Structure 1
């Protein structure tokens, strides 16, 4: 199975007509910018350089268009990314600190490369129960594997807080990444990438380290 590093790469490789690809690209951009409710089919057609009639030849409604974007992304892209991520994680099993450093840098880059689709997924996760359940079902087993890796490192490192669990560390990691992402892409705060990553790493490692 081919591995992709971005949604755009996956979209470029997907077998579809040029018109359909343009519509999906415009929809992703506008859904991320204005939200699903704030985007009309007319806006999507105009951004894609197509007529409304042409757009409706490919997608019968805005709801169908959203489904065609979110469903393949969750069912195909998310497992691909997470599987590759876990393989890479296993290559960084030096210490819990090195692992968190790698995870933060890797996911920070991934989220920036795919910021538009990440925004859509976050919005749909919060408002669409079907999407939420699909994500939980697909990522649940991957999270369990990651917990096992982290827990193993915790039990062999005497510098970490003995009260910490892998689940708490994953929640801490995810929370810090989400806050940073929303600050940049929802609140439009300008950040220096290196400084932002360094701050996230410092925040996470401070909690992990014993008597920090």
Structure 2
């Protein structure tokens, strides 16, 4: 039996695309409804408000990310964990380009900031442990540096800026003495 996309899912997809293109403040519920080819009232029926729709978009996007990276947090080899974190920007942007374009555009939005912070929190903790296990003298600073770079890399990728993100990832793999993926 073929899986069908619900109108609720179509609204989430349209909102993700339009928030990423126009920004949250400039995207109206009428624009979203028009793109989704549904009535504007359906947005309010399913999500109560534009903010409710945004929260659903964020929940849907980060749920997809978590499911797509299941097991990463269980990685026991510290070098393999750092490798996976370094590869995260490419995986995230390749799997969900519109969601990450939206996230980059909404970097000043409190709800988007909170959702990303919640997503990154467990990664921070296990990276600190990984750097400590590898003998780094300042594992918290190493973790913060790596996560700042990872954050910059995915934003650079969705904005198509001139920085060579893949080259930077290879540089960091050398810095941390990691295997380059085949």
TM-score by length of 1: 0.64
1:109 aligns with 2:91: yes
How many angstroms apart in 2 are the aligned matches of 1:123 and 1:133? 15
The answer to whether the 8 A contact 2:58-2:115 is kept is no
How many angstroms apart in 2 are the aligned matches of 1:178 and 1:63? 24
1:196 aligns with 2:178: no
How many angstroms apart in 2 are the aligned matches of 1:175 and 1:204? 15
1:54–1:31 distance in 2 versus 1, CA, 3 Å: same
1:28 aligns with 2:10: no
The answer to whether the 8 A contact 2:12-2:53 is kept is yes
1:43 counterpart (31, 34, 49): 31
Find the counterpart in structure 1 of residue 133 from structure 2.
152
How many angstroms apart in 2 are the aligned matches of 1:84 and 1:126? 30
Q: Which one has the largest radius of gyration?
A: 1
The answer to whether the 8 A contact 2:11-2:43 is kept is yes
**Unaligned regions of 5+ residues in structure 2, if any?**
178-182
Following TM superposition, by how much is the alpha carbon of 1:55 offset from its aligned partner in structure 2, in angstroms?
3.5
Find the counterpart in structure 2 of residue 9 from structure 1.
none
CA RMSD of aligned residues (A): 3.4
The answer to whether the 8 A contact 1:83-1:142 is kept is no
**Unaligned regions of 5+ residues in structure 1, if any?**
1-12, 156-161
1:169 aligns with 2:142: yes
Q: 1:69-148 to 2 correspondence within 5 Å?
A: 69-71=57-59, 73=61, 76-77=63-64, 80=67, 84-87=71-74, 89-90=75-76, 92-93=77-78, 96=79, 100-122=82-104, 124=106, 126-128=108-110, 132-133=113-114, 135-136=116-117, 139-148=120-129
How many angstroms apart in 1 are the aligned matches of 2:118 and 2:88? 23
How many angstroms apart in 1 are the aligned matches of 2:95 and 2:44? 29
Query: How many pairs does the alignment contain?
Result: 175
The answer to whether the 8 A contact 2:16-2:98 is kept is yes
Q: 1:170-185 to 2 correspondence within 5 Å?
A: 170-185=143-158
Cα deviation, 1:180-203, whole Å, max 9, x if unaligned, reads: 2222323x3378xxx632332314
1:32–1:201 distance in 2 versus 1, CA, 3 Å: same
